[in-house]
Amino acid sequence: MDYQPTTLTVSQLNRRARQLLETHLPLVWVEGEISNFSRPGSGHWYLTLKDEHAQARCAMFRNRNSLVRFRPDNGTHVLVRCRVSLYEGRGDFQLIIEHMEEAGYGALQRKFDELKHRLSEEGLFLDTHKQPLPSLPNRIGIITSPTGAAIRDILSVLKRRFPAIPVTVYPSVVQGSGAAAQLADSIALANEDNRCDVLIVGRGGGSLEDLWAFNEEVLTRAIYNSNIPIISAVGHEVDFTIADFVADYRAPTPSAAAEILSPNGEEFLANFRGFERLFLEAIQRRLQSSSQHIDNLRRQLRHPGERLHHRGQQLQNLLVRLKRSTAENQTRQQTRLHHLQDKLGRCHPSQQLDQLQSQLDALKQRLHLGMEKLIELRHDSWQKSAQLLHAVSPLNTLERGYAIVMDKQQHIVRHVADTAVGDTVSTKLVDGSLLCTVDKIIPEER
C-alpha cells in the first residue's frame, strides 16, 4: 500500500508553527537594541530587537506599552519580557512584548527591587533584630579595600577625634565578581576573631554597577547573621544598598561611620579636666571636714578621773532607782497574789459541782416533760393521718359495694371500649378477685 503524505496549506502550517512556539516556550527575558521602531495610529508599537548577530521582529500592544515608564526609540538598549509567537499572515517569527525596561541600570534596579522585597518579606530588615552600637568601642573592625579612599577617610576621622581606639582592618575587594563573597568571608572572620565591638562595612561612592556587591544576597545574609553590630557605610548619602537596610545602622558615608563610633577627644579631655577639678575640690572639702571633726573630738576629750567620777555618780543613781523599783514591784506582786487567792476561793470545784448538779436536775425535768408532750403530739398526728388514709383508700370504696375491673395487663378498665367480647378480665372486690369473661357489651345510652 502506497504511503500518502499529509498535505497542509500554508495557513495550516503557520498556525501549527505558532501553536508550537506559544505552547512550548514560556515567557522569556530578551535584551537587545531597538531598530525600525514605529507607533501607528492604533497605539500599538512595532519594532525590531537586534544584537550583533541576529534580529527579531517584535510587537507591543497598546494595553501593555501604556505601562512603560520611559520613551523608547531607535538605538535604545532595552530588556523585555515577551512571548514567542509567529505572525500567521506572513509567516514571520515575532516576539509579543509584555514588559519593557531600559537595560543595564534598569535590569540591575529590577534585581535590586526583587531581592529587597524578598528579604523584607523574610524579616531581615526588622528593627527587632538590629543590635545597639557601643558608646565607646574597645576596638573597631573595618571591612573594605585597603587601598581605597574609604579606609583613608575612616582612619583620618578616628585619628582626629579619638586616636586611642584601636582598629583592625579586614581587607577585601569591594567591586567586581566575587567581591560580595569576599566581604561575607571577612565578616565571618571578624566574628571568629571576636576582638571587635563593632564593624564598619563599606566603600566610597560609585555607580549602581560599582556598588552592586553590597546588593548581593550572600553579603546581606552575612550581615544579618553577624553577632557583632555592623554599620553599613557605602558610597555617598544618596546611595542606598540592600546592605544599608539589613545592617544595624546605616551611615551616609564612611567618614560619618567613623564619627558615629568615635567620641570627640577634645570633649573627653574637657570632661576629664572637669572631673579632675571636682575630684580636687571634693578632697579639699573632705580634709576640711575631717580637720573640724578632729577639733571637736579634742574639745570633747576629758581627764579619766573626771570621767570615772561622773560614771560613779551615774552608777549610784542607778542603784537607788533599782532599789525603789524592786520594792514597788514586790508590793504590786503581793497585791496581785491576794487578789488571785480570793478569786480561787470563789471558783472552788465543790461550788461549781453544786451549781452544775442543780442545772442538771432542771434539764432532766424539762426533758421528761418535753418527751411526754412530743409523744402526745405524734400520737394525735398519726390518728389523723390514718383516718385521712382510710378515707381515700380504694379498699374503703370496695367496702361500699364497688369493684375494680382490670385487664390481663393489670390495667384498670374505665370504659366499655377498653374491652371486647371474649376478653378475660379480673374484678377486684373487698375480700378477693373474680376472674370473668366478657360475654356481651352493653354501652350506656346518653
Cα-to-chain-centroid distance, residue 243: 27
Q: Are residues 124 and 253 in the same domain?
A: yes
Residue 140 near residue 165 (C-beta atoms within 8 A): yes
Counting the structural domains of the chain, the total is: 4
Q: Which three cell numbers stand for residue 331?
A: 508590793
**Mean per-residue pLDDT, 55-62:** 92
Residue 64 near residue 46 (C-beta atoms within 8 A): no
**Mean per-residue pLDDT, 188-214:** 89
pTM: 0.46
pLDDT number for residue 144 = 93
Angle in degrees, CA 149, 155, 160, rounded to 5 = 125
Q: Are residues 127 and 94 in the same domain?
A: no
What CA–CA distance (Å, rounded) separates 203 from 179?
12
Q: Are residues 176 and 250 in the same domain?
A: yes
Residue 182 near residue 203 (C-beta atoms within 8 A): no
- Whether residue 431 is contained in a domain is answered as yes
For position 144, which CATH number holds?
A: 3.40.50.261
Q: Are residues 84 and 155 in the same domain?
A: no
Residue 222 near residue 188 (C-beta atoms within 8 A): yes
Q: Which three cell numbers stand for residue 177?
A: 565578581
What CA–CA distance (Å, rounded) separates 158 from 140?
10
Percent of the chain exceeding pLDDT 70 equals: 93
Other beta carbons within 10 Å of 256:
18
**Listed range (94-98, 399-403, 412-416, 441-445) with the worst mean pLDDT:** 399-403
- Whether residue 66 is contained in a domain is answered as yes
pLDDT at position 272 over 80: no
Residue 226 near residue 187 (C-beta atoms within 8 A): yes
For residue 406, give its domain range.
398-437
**Among the listed residues 234, 230, 216, 207, the one whose alpha carbon sits nearest the alpha carbon of residue 145:** 234
Q: Are residues 163 and 219 in the same domain?
A: yes
pLDDT number for residue 4 = 61
What CA–CA distance (Å, rounded) separates 214 from 174?
8
pLDDT at position 280 over 80: yes
pLDDT at position 2 over 60: no
- Whether residue 176 is contained in a domain is answered as yes
Interval 341-387: pLDDT, tens: 777 776 767 777 777 888 888 888 888 888 888 888 888 888 888 77
What CA–CA distance (Å, rounded) separates 289 from 244?
58
- Whether residue 127 is contained in a domain is answered as yes
- Whether residue 313 is contained in a domain is answered as no
Query: Which among 69, 103, 137 is the end of a domain?
Result: 103
**Mean per-residue pLDDT, 49-61:** 91
Question: Measured between alpha carbons, how far apart are the two ends of the chain, in Å?
Answer: 109
Given pLDDT bands bounded at 50, 70 and 90, which one contains residue 106? Answer: low
**Among the listed residues 205, 197, 210, 211, the one whose alpha carbon sits nearest the alpha carbon of residue 243:** 211
Residue bearing cell 581605597: 148
Q: Are residues 78 and 182 in the same domain?
A: no
Residues facing residue 436 across a β-bridge: 425
- Whether residue 187 is contained in a domain is answered as yes
